[in-house]
Amino acid sequence: MTGDAVLTATNVSIEYEVDPPVKAVRNVSLTLNRGEILGLAGESGCGKTTLAYGMNRLLKPPALMTAGEVVFHDRTGEDIDVVALADEELRRFRWDKVSMVFQGAMNSLNPVINIRAQLFDVFTTHRPDMSKRQKQQRSEELLELVGVDPKRLTSFPHELSGGMRQRVMIAMALALDPQVMIMDEPTTALDVVVQRGIIREIMRLREKLGFAVIFITHDLPMLIEISDRIAVMLQGEIVELGMATDVYRRPQHEYTKRLLSSFPSLRGERGDFVRTGAQSVSATLGPSATLEGGAA
Amino acid sequence: MTAESTPSTPRTLEARNLVKDFRLRSGLKVSTLHAVKDVSFTLEAGRTIALVGESGSGKSTIAKMLARLETPTSGQILLDGKPASRSGRDAAAYRGDVQMVFQDPFASLNPFHSIAHHLERPLKIHNPGIGRAELRKRTLELLDRVRLSPSDRMADRRPHELSGGQRQRVAIARALAPGAQFIVADEPVSMLDVSIRLGVLNLLAQLQREDHLGVLYITHDLATARHFSDEILVMYRGDIVERGPADTVILDPQHDYTRTLLGAAPDPENQGMLRDEVRRELSAGRP
């Protein structure tokens, strides 16, 4: 299942053209293999979302990809240069080949139209020759796939719980049978129990449908648990990339070690890092705490 | 500051048989939601109790009742064994002793006011007649205590100039301003970046030691609940289904729901287990 690449990014640099310019992503190269889950970890502001947007050509000014190339390797064997795609081609490419579950996905559904209309929208745009009946059938199928009662098609987003809305978002991302799904903090706003259900669903669907996932989150323990490989980002660069077990057992970079140590272990030894003296308070608040306040 | 040394009998904040029902109306139908059903616990000064459970389990309702933002349907809240009164001077005294830190530091500070204003208000309210110089001095002291330095520059900033972690520290300083002995912290770090969560928790723990505070730590993160508190209460649908010393609850859970919660918590030790489990399930032909 793994082995051949589905998405390759080479030397990607992305800048926010504000004054002074912000180099959000610096010279990042990343290969996503077919069917794998690649975890992208790092704290807020490290550029992980920007990189994901870049790979899907979703950047809006002032963000600009200043260098690098992104190539999508289609199932059919065709290679698509994502950076060079223009208007109509780009529109067809997005969602069809690479789909996305956005950060705060719970709030990315349109509150004034029902779920069916939003799912139909995807088909109307990308599969114009589908009949209404086919759309209906496919929509029901999708909801069933993600574990939501198909009867909820006529519901409005506010009538669904957070977890269900998230599942609907995933159904929507699956609608066109994409080969890559980018998930940007898909479960951050959810409860642990619901989160577990959704993660399980994603893993199950991945096995069944064989898409590759780029999973972006700052929850490193969860990433280690579910990913095949993990990339750790710091200030726009990937500082460590490796198999999940290696990143966990033998972290190479200082930053990875620090990130790992900021999660107390659930069942392990009772560490002394919490409830310790003043020294460790300033140590754990870290250098970023004393920096001039930026966006968090 | 009420930096009292350990008193011979520790101060206590007690919830006794707390019940909260909400009336839900849907058209003409009225139904009752039992958000909290008969919950009792005692928080002693200097100790931390963690309240864990999923959303909707009633954790925040308890916090709000303790902070006097919600009236219990029945049951009592006792401070040092005396029922907390709802009005007058006693109520003001209660508020001086019990303060809350909210979940979202982006919403709990007023973007219009400076940081100093957020701390001066409680100082003024709880110390009528305080002089201007003294007020400033106490404000800067509070900022220093939560390690927002240089405090004189921080004081004149506005919330949007601060990061999430810094804002949450302002919120902690604000809770300490009236000289509170009990802090109700409702998911104080869940909105913060992972790399600074421990820092904020450590800070809270240190302030707790310095002032001998009683902390009710509400969270759904079992790992920090275990390391940060003495006792854990597990809530499920308005009931406390399990309680006990932190390590016992986590390492030797008795109730099914606690086990479910523990099973849902990410654990890097389980690397690949979920994948294998899912594969087994699929190959066994289950949907």
Give kind and range of the element (H or E) at residue A243. strand A237-243
Interchain CB distance below 8 Å, A193 and B264: yes
- Rounding to the nearest 10 degrees, give the CA dihedral for residues A226, A228, A234, A240: 140
Strands A63-73 and A5-16: antiparallel
Task: Tell me what pLDDT residue B3 has.
Answer: 46
3-state SS assignment for residue B5? coil
Interchain CB distance below 8 Å, A289 and B227: no
Task: Tell me what pLDDT residue B278 has.
Answer: 83
Interchain CB distance below 8 Å, A285 and B192: no
Interchain CB distance below 8 Å, A296 and B165: yes
Task: Tell me what pLDDT residue A270 has.
Answer: 57
Q: Which residue has the tokens 């309240």?
A: B51
Q: How far apart are CA B223 and CA B203, in angstroms?
A: 17
Interface test with A, best of B202, B228, B256 (most A CBs within 10 A): B202
Maximal CA-CA distance, chain B: 75
The minimum CA-CA distance between A103 and chain B, rounded to whole Å, is: 14
Name the more confident of B148 and A294.
B148
Q: How far apart are CA B271 and CA B267, in angstroms?
A: 8
pLDDT-based confidence at residue B44 (cuts at 50, 70, 90): very high
Domains detected in chain B: 12-264 (3.40.50.300)
Q: How far apart are CA B82 and CA B76, in angstroms?
A: 10
Name the more confident of B247 and A19.
B247
| Residue A52 structural domain | 1-89+223-264
Scan residues 233-272 of A and list those with Cβ closer than 8 Å to B: 244-245, 248, 258-259, 262-267, 270-271
Q: What is the pLDDT of residues B170-214, one digit of tens each?
A: 999 999 999 899 999 998 888 887 778 888 998 999 999 999 999
Asked whether residue A244 is domain-assigned, the answer is yes
Region of residue B268 (left: phi > 0; alpha: psi -120 to 50; beta: else): alpha
Asked whether residue A186 is domain-assigned, the answer is no
Q: What is the pLDDT of residues B223-235, one digit of tens each?
A: 888 888 999 999 9
Task: Tell me what pLDDT residue A269 has.
Answer: 66
Q: How far apart are CA A102 and CA A106, in angstroms?
A: 9
Q: What is the mean pLDDT of residues B245-267?
A: 89
Q: How far apart are CA A58 and CA A70, in angstroms?
A: 13
Q: Minimal Cα distance from B153: which residue of A?
A: A292
Task: Tell me whether A276 touches chain B (CB under 8 Å).
Answer: yes
Q: Do the beta carbons of residue A72 and residue A80 sit within 8 Å?
A: yes
Of A208, A262, A278, Cβ closest to residue B197: A262
Interchain CB distance below 8 Å, B227 and A271: yes
Asked whether residue A149 is domain-assigned, the answer is no
Q: What is the overall mean pLDDT for chain B?
A: 87
Of A252, A262, A260, the residue nearest A286 (C-alpha): A262
Q: Do the beta carbons of residue A28 and residue A51 sit within 8 Å?
A: yes
Residue A231 φ/ψ, nearest 5 degrees: -115, 130
For residue A228, count other CB atoms closer than 10 A to its CB.
19
Consecutive 10-residue averages of pLDDT for chain A (296 residues): 77 87 88 91 84 86 86 86 86 88 79 91 90 92 87 87 85 90 82 83 87 88 89 90 89 87 74 47 46 36
- Contact list in B for residue A199 (CB cut-off 8 A) is 274
Q: Minimal Cα distance from A296: which residue of B?
A: B163
Region of residue A154 (left: phi > 0; alpha: psi -120 to 50; beta: else): alpha
Interchain CB distance below 8 Å, A244 and B226: no
Instruction: Enumerate the β-bridge partners of residue B217.
Output: B50, B185
b/e burial code for range A89-126 (CB count within 10 A of at least 16 → b): eeeebbbbbbbbbbbebbeebeeeebbbebbbebbeee
Q: How far apart are CA B50 and CA B223, in angstroms?
A: 11
Task: Tell me whether B2 touches chain A (CB under 8 Å).
Answer: no
Asked whether residue A208 is domain-assigned, the answer is no
Q: Do the beta carbons of residue B236 and residue B57 sit within 8 Å?
A: yes
Asked whether residue A191 is domain-assigned, the answer is no
For residue B29, count other CB atoms closer than 10 A to its CB.
7
Task: Tell me what pLDDT residue A296 has.
Answer: 37
Interchain CB distance below 8 Å, B266 and A194: no
Residue partners of B231: CB distance under 8 A and separation at least 6: B47, B48, B49, B50, B243, B244, B245, B246
Q: How far apart are CA B286 and CA B280, in angstroms?
A: 9
Strands A22-33 and A5-16: antiparallel
pLDDT-based confidence at residue B86 (cuts at 50, 70, 90): confident
Interface test with B, best of A38, A48, A204, A259 (most B CBs within 10 A): A204
Asked whether residue A227 is domain-assigned, the answer is yes
Residue partners of A140: CB distance under 8 A and separation at least 6: A150, A153
For residue B5, count other CB atoms closer than 10 A to its CB.
5
Instruction: Enumerate the β-bridge partners of residue A47.
Output: none
Strands A229-234 and B74-79: unpaired
- Contact list in B for residue A285 (CB cut-off 8 A) is 147, 165, 196, 199-200, 202-203
Task: Tell me what pLDDT residue A117 has.
Answer: 92
Task: Name the DSSP letter for residue B230.
Answer: S
- Rounding to the nearest 10 degrees, give the CA dihedral for residues A163, A166, A170, A172: 120
- Rounding to the nearest 10 degrees, give the CA dihedral for residues B273, B275, B277, B278: 160
pLDDT-based confidence at residue B77 (cuts at 50, 70, 90): very high
Is the interface score ipTM higher than 0.85? no
Of A196, A218, A281, Cβ closest to residue B203: A281
**CATH number of the domain encompassing residue A21:** 3.40.50.300
pTM: 0.79
The sign of the CA dihedral B105, B108, B111, B114 is negative
Number of domains in chain A: 1
- By residue count, chain B amounts to 287
Interchain CB distance below 8 Å, B163 and A194: no
Task: Tell me what pLDDT residue A167 has.
Answer: 86
Name the more confident of B75 and A77.
B75
Residue A152 φ/ψ, nearest 5 degrees: -75, 0
Percent of the residues in chain B that have a pLDDT greater than 90, as a whole number: 42
Q: Do the beta carbons of residue A169 and residue A148 sit within 8 Å?
A: no
The minimum CA-CA distance between B277 and chain A, rounded to whole Å, is: 9
Asked whether residue A164 is domain-assigned, the answer is no
Interchain CB distance below 8 Å, B193 and A226: no
Asked whether residue A288 is domain-assigned, the answer is no
Residue partners of B92: CB distance under 8 A and separation at least 6: B126
Q: How far apart are CA A90 and CA A97, in angstroms?
A: 10
Task: Tell me what pLDDT residue B140 has.
Answer: 93
Name the more confident of B96 and A262.
B96
